[in-house]
Amino acid sequence: MKRLLALLVLIVASAAARAEAPVILVFGDSISAGYGLAPEQGWVELLKTRLKTQGYGYQVVNASVSGETTAGGLARLPRALELHHPGIVVLELGGNDGLRALPIAQMRANLAQMLDLSSAAGAKVLLLGMRMPPNYGPEYTKQFAMVFSDLAAEKKAALVPFLLTNIALSPDLLQGDDIHPNALGQPILLDNVWPALKPLLHK
């Protein structure tokens, strides 16, 4: 009986510790949802492992949805914030807006609202920037890239200027669509995110 009671206490204490662990909410599109990969291969899963091995007591919730635009993300975010109460929001949206050549002003407004909502919920925000291929034209690609740097400065958010640095121009790190990083590219994605994320963490 005593052993059973001790086991129950241990289970309850473990559950309480998990419940109290701060949450990192990764809120993105297919790049963060692990499109085309086995579940354990995506950079968000690799992040969970790195946090654990380095002694950071965070839960990571991946609320990324393949094909998501900033408009779709803005519609989903309030519920995600209410449900998970994240301490950190990693915002990785905008790529699908760009690929569909949607108006940059609207994309910027949607991202700005998501940054504001996250901050108002008490979360630190890390914005993951994207860029468009040159075939979208120099003016569009320049304006698109500037959205992320401008918003990060304006909203005082942490920034990764380009999530696909050291990947986008390497076919051996991309899936057959030449858009999504393959399994070999996932550790590089994490290495691109980590220097901006680490200062937001505490042990």
- Is 30 one of the annotated active-site residues of the chain? yes
Domain total of the chain: 1
Catalytic residue, candidates 64, 84, 97, 180:
180
The answer as to whether 14 is a domain residue is no
Catalytic residue, candidates 172, 177, 178, 202:
177
Q: What is the pLDDT of residues 135-158, one digit of tens each?
A: 999 999 999 999 999 999 999 999
User: Which phi and psi (to 5°) does residue 56 adopt?
Assistant: -90, 125
Please report how many Cα atoms fall inside a 13 Å half-sphere around the Cα of residue 108, on the Cβ side: 15
Confidence of residue 10 (pLDDT cuts 50, 70, 90): very low
Residue 9 has pLDDT above 90, yes or no: no
Confidence of residue 20 (pLDDT cuts 50, 70, 90): confident
11: enclosing H helix or E strand? helix 2-20
The answer as to whether 141 is a domain residue is yes
Provide the residue range defining the domain that includes 103. 22-200
The answer as to whether 15 is a domain residue is no
pLDDT for the residue numbered 132: 95
The answer as to whether 115 is a domain residue is yes
The answer as to whether 188 is a domain residue is yes
Residue 13 has pLDDT above 80, yes or no: no
CA distance 149 to 143: 10
Look at the block and give the residue holding tokens 């399994």: 183
Assign residue 144 the CATH number of its domain. Answer: 3.40.50.1110
pLDDT for the residue numbered 5: 54
The answer as to whether 10 is a domain residue is no
- Is 84 one of the annotated active-site residues of the chain? no
Catalytic residue, candidates 30, 32, 64, 118:
30
- Which residues, other chains included, contact 113 with Cβ-Cβ below 8 Å and sequence gap of 6+? 74
The answer as to whether 47 is a domain residue is yes
The answer as to whether 12 is a domain residue is no
Q: What's the predicted TM-score (pTM) here?
A: 0.90
- Is 180 one of the annotated active-site residues of the chain? yes
Confidence of residue 4 (pLDDT cuts 50, 70, 90): low
90: enclosing H helix or E strand? strand 88-92
Q: What is the pLDDT of residues 170-199, one digit of tens each?
A: 999 999 999 999 999 999 999 999 999 999
